[in-house]
Amino acid sequence: MQTLPTPTTNTASSQPTFDTTIKRRKTRPVKVGDITIGGGYPVVVQSMINEDTLDINGSVAAIRRLHEIGCEIVRVTVPSLAHAKALAEIKQKLQQTYKDVPIVADVHHNGMKIALEVAKHIEKVRINPGLYVFEKPNANRTEYNQAEFAEIGEKSAKHSNHW
């Protein structure tokens, strides 16, 4: 439980005062489409749709609704390769019927193939290592090499449980 400091009393009034300054951690800037997050840039409004990414029209409508009310980056969940491939059509429909909205794909489960597919279609891949499962085609294989990770390249937005 967080404990708040004892408020100090302002001598000009009897109301207690609190330090409400938001302290930001030092981060590196990351581009998501035409939006830059981190690195001292202004805080960006982002949200996540709850439609199934396989529902192309529903996903496009949800992304558009969020963007129209001020959401600058929209996240979508991508639990399978079919969902990853659906992002190509979602992105295309958004561009044709509305505008290009920066999208981040939340990749969980069997991530390597999904992340590589997603990276072809959208601005950023968010990898949740707590749920990320690396596929090992060889049962004796214990790790991936740097070149395989590099395939995901600059599109990997962050490797953390919280974003």
What is the pLDDT, as a whole number, of residue 160? 39
Task: State yes or no: pLDDT of 78 exceeds 60.
Answer: yes
Tell the CATH topology of 27-159: TIM Barrel (3.20.20)
Is the pLDDT higher at 159 or at 87? 87
Q: What does the pLDDT look like over 12-41, one tens digit per residue?
A: 667 778 888 888 889 999 999 999 999 999
Cβ contacts of residue 105 below 8 Å, gap of 6+? 75, 76, 77, 78, 84, 87, 115, 118, 122, 124, 125, 126
- Report the alpha-carbon distance of residue 92 to residue 80 in Å, rounded: 19
pLDDT bin (cut points 50, 70, 90) of residue 115 is confident
pTM: 0.69
What is the pLDDT, as a whole number, of residue 148? 62
Question: How large is the average pLDDT for residues 54-76?
Answer: 97
Delimit the domains of the chain by residue range. Answer: 27-159
What is the pLDDT, as a whole number, of residue 158? 43
Is the pLDDT higher at 74 or at 156? 74
Is the pLDDT higher at 93 or at 143? 93
What is the pLDDT, as a whole number, of residue 1? 46
One-letter amino acid at 121 equals H
What is the pLDDT, as a whole number, of residue 12? 62
